[in-house]
């Protein structure tokens, strides 16, 4: 299997000096290509706006030179009407420009967010175990908006300023070439600083994004139910406020620094523009005194010269904006370029009519290293790899489970029980050997068909912040109310639901925290039963139930699991002793297997675990 560190090509150092390359521009344009017609319309309105802006200065000069000396009231009225008409038309065109830009901008945001969300969902589970949720969601918000801004505001600014600059220079050369050359003498001072300024502003923007991501991650972790409960139980509210305050202060400080730097740069450009305008007025005034130009032409030149320096300032700033926006695009593309090793082969088979046979053939497995699963800019901890990280968790596992068997996995903590259950639905790929379902390597099956044949109930089941019915139908969107009721009765949760004022329409709360651990587990069991899988994996699925409810749920499960292959991780004697096959694991190896009676007679690890469980259960007090 290919090493993952070759899959994540970008790191912090390589992203420091973003440049506008043909490749990056082409990639950005591909995102805008579905809106090609809208982009053309948008650019057309920008050009019209730029041309309309030339009319008032030219007409003002004509008024001074022709209308006032000749006292031509008719022409004055006409010129005034043209200026008003140009303003009205400019407003209409501006509305059209805004319409196109919003259509393009919001469309690109939608496309980027949807593609990012879809792509991130398909990344391997190891990616999520090492990535902070807040940092990741920041990519779908701030970075996507930053990338969108480059395609609308920045693009419009570049086109508008370019057209304004070109048309203004042509008009000025026609009126007075000497003053035009004088005005252009200061233009190098607008262009030269952009490299230094662009690099500095780009770094400030990247730091601001990083600090914002850290602040958002703090809020995301502390504001979910688990985080809030942990903070309250340890009485760390003041410490958490200090932590958040420090991260918010970093955001504040970088924002102030960026704002002051930008304002200083713009002030310098504005000052240069004022100097250029003063020179044009000064020399132009001398020309007017000498009679080489008319007063109206001088007035027009004075108005037009501002249309040179303003676009130059805008174009210089646009260069900085584009480089800054490339940071957002790089951060978005960095996630989109993160390919998952868990992909379907082009000729992957669909698992049809699954029987539930499971086989482990010389399997060796270790969890992916941090360097194989972390996107560099989403890295939340040191990526140094210890020797333990490289040690295999499962070693030389050979095992065959027949369809319909109830198999119990037992062993000390860290023996590899949960890891084995994660390999069956292909949440991870093995490094050596193969995991097979119905005789086919799971890597040769489509993930959708494989996982649709497997139902999983974990020790701490997750429920979405939606209604009970929505959570249950997550397993089977087409499930009828009768099917839901049947599954809930089998899981011994129907009476509890019926006692709720909202019944199935009751919102469960974030992660289901409105329900007890036992109720969540029973809802999770009902959800699994609605899926009607051929293979069932129960990872401590009854650990939160009291003895009475466990007995009821076990009865329901016993009936529901008939004819299904079941892998059960349990520490309850009732589950273990009724299993058709017991697998005893220790340090990633299968050390014993057989029935309860057979393993007890061996007097080895299983016997020790069993007698320890007897002592533990005898010391557990009955629930009050």
| pLDDT of res. 6 | 31
**117 and 29 inside one domain:** yes
Contact, 586 vs 415, CB < 8 A?
A: yes
**462 and 583 inside one domain:** yes
Higher-pLDDT residue of 452, 134 = 452
| pLDDT of res. 623 | 37
Q: For residue 471, report the phi and psi dihedrals to the nearest 5 degrees.
A: -65, -40
Give pLDDT tens digits for 431-447: 899 999 999 999 999 98
CA 152-155-156 angle, to 5 degrees, is 80
| pLDDT of res. 42 | 84
Q: Is the predicted pLDDT of residue 56 greater than 90, yes or no?
A: no
- What percent of the chain has pLDDT above 70? 78
| pLDDT of res. 569 | 87
Final residue of a domain: which of 295, 319, 336? 336
Residue 544 lies in a domain: yes
Instruction: State both tokens at 150.
Output: 């480059």
Cβ atoms < 10 Å from Cβ of 45: 22
**424 and 283 inside one domain:** no
pTM of the entire structure? Answer: 0.69
Residue 392 lies in a domain: no
Q: Is the predicted pLDDT of residue 339 greater than 80, yes or no?
A: no
> Cβ neighbours of residue 478 under 8 Å, at least 6 residues apart?
none
Give pLDDT tens digits for 303-326: 788 777 777 767 766 666 666 667
Distances (CA, A) of 616 to 192, 279, 542, 619: 78, 94, 16, 5
Helices (H) and strands (E) in the chain, counts: 27, 10
24-38, 248-262, 311-325, 492-506, range with the lowest pLDDT: 311-325
Higher-pLDDT residue of 191, 19 = 191
Q: How far is the first Cα of the chain from the last one, in angstroms, to the nearest whole number?
A: 54
Compute the average pLDDT of residues 150-176: 77
Compute the average pLDDT of residues 210-226: 71
Q: Is the predicted pLDDT of residue 128 greater than 80, yes or no?
A: no
| pLDDT of res. 535 | 93
**278 and 421 inside one domain:** no
Residue 437 lies in a domain: no
Instruction: Measure the CA–CA gap between 340 and 127, rounded to whole angstroms.
Output: 9
Report the chain's mean pLDDT, rounded to a whole number: 77
Q: Confidence band (pLDDT; 50, 70, 90) for 565?
A: very high
Contact, 594 vs 566, CB < 8 A?
A: no
Q: Confidence band (pLDDT; 50, 70, 90) for 386?
A: very low
Residue 571 lies in a domain: yes
Instruction: Measure the CA–CA gap between 306 and 294, rounded to whole angstroms.
Output: 19
DSSP letter string, 543-575: TT--HHHHHHHHHHHHHHTTTSEEEEE---HHH
Domain containing 563 equals 402-428+446-619
Residue 128 lies in a domain: yes
| pLDDT of res. 389 | 55
Count of domains in the chain? 2
> If residue 590 lies in a helix (H) or strand (E), which one and from where to where?
strand 589-594
């Amino acid at each position: 299997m290919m090493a993952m560190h070759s899959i994540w090509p970008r790191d912090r150092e390589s992203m420091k000096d973003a440049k506008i390359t043909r490749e990056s521009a082409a990639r950005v344009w591909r995102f805008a290509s579905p809106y090609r017609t809208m982009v053309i319309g948008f650019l057309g309105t920008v050009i019209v706006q730029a041309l309309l802006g030339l009319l008032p200065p030219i007409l003002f000069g004509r008024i001074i030179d022709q209308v006032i000396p000749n006292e031509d009231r008719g022409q004055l009225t006409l010129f005034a009407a043209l200026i008003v008409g140009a303003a009205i038309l400019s407003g209409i065109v501006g509305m059209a420009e805004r319409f196109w830009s919003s259509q393009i901008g919001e469309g690109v945001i939608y496309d980027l967010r949807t593609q990012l969300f879809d792509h991130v969902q398909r990344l391997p589970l190891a990616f999520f175990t090492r990535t902070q949720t807040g940092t990741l969601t920041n990519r779908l918000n701030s970075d996507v908006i930053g990338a969108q801004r480059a395609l609308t505001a920045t693009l419009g600014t570049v086109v508008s300023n370019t057209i304004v600059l070109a048309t203004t220079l042509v008009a000025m050369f026609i009126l007075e070439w000497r003053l035009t050359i004088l005005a252009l003498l200061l233009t190098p001072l607008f262009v030269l600083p952009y490299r230094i300024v662009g690099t500095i502003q780009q770094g400030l923007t990247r730091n601001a994004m990083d600090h914002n991501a850290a602040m958002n991650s703090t809020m995301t972790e502390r504001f979910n139910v688990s985080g809030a409960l942990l903070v309250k139980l340890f009485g760390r509210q003041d410490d958490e406020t200090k932590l958040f305050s420090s991260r918010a202060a970093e955001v504040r400080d970088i924002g102030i620094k960026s704002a002051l730097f930008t304002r200083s740069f713009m002030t310098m450009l504005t000052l240069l523009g004022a100097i250029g305008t003063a020179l044009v007025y000064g020399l132009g005034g001398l020309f007017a005194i000498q009679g080489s130009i008319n007063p109206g032409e001088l007035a027009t030149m004075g108005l037009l010269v501002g249309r040179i320096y303003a676009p130059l300032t805008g174009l210089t700033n646009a260069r900085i904006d584009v480089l800054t926006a490339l940071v957002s695009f790089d951060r978005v593309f960095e996630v989109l370029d993160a390919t998952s090793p868990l992909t379907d082969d082009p000729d992957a088979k669909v698992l049809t009519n699954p029987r539930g046979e499971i086989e482990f053939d010389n399997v060796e497995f270790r969890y992916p290293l941090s360097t194989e699963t972390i996107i560099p800019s989403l890295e939340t901890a040191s990526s140094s790899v210890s020797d333990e990280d490289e040690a295999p968790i499962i070693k030389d596992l050979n095992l065959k489970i027949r369809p319909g068997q109830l198999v119990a996995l037992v062993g000390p903590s860290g023996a590899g029980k949960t890891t084995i259950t994660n390999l069956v639905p292909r949440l991870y790929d093995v490094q050596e050997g193969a995991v097979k379902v119905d005789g086919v390597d799971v890597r040769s099956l489509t993930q959708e068909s494989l996982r649709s044949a497997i139902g999983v109930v974990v020790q701490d089941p997750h429920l979405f912040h939606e209604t009970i019915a929505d959570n249950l139908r997550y397993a089977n969107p087409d499930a009828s109310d009768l099917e839901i009721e049947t599954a809930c009765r089998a899981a011994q949760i129907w009476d509890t639901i019926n006692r709720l004022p909202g019944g199935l329409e009751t919102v469960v709360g974030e992660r289901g925290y409105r329900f007890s651990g036992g109720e969540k587990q029973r809802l999770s069991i009902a959800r699994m039963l609605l899926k009607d899988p051929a293979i069932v994996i129960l990872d401590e699925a009854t650990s939160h139930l009291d003895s009475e409810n466990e007995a009821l749920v076990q009865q329901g499960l016993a009936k529901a699991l008939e004819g299904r292959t079941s892998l059960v991780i349990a520490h309850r004697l009732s589950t273990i002793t009724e299993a058709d096959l017991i697998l005893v694991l220790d340090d990633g190896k299968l050390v014993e297997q057989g029935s309860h009676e057979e393993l007890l007679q061996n007097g080895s690890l299983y016997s020790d675990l069993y007698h320890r469980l007897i002592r533990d259960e005898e010391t557990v007090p009955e629930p009050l």
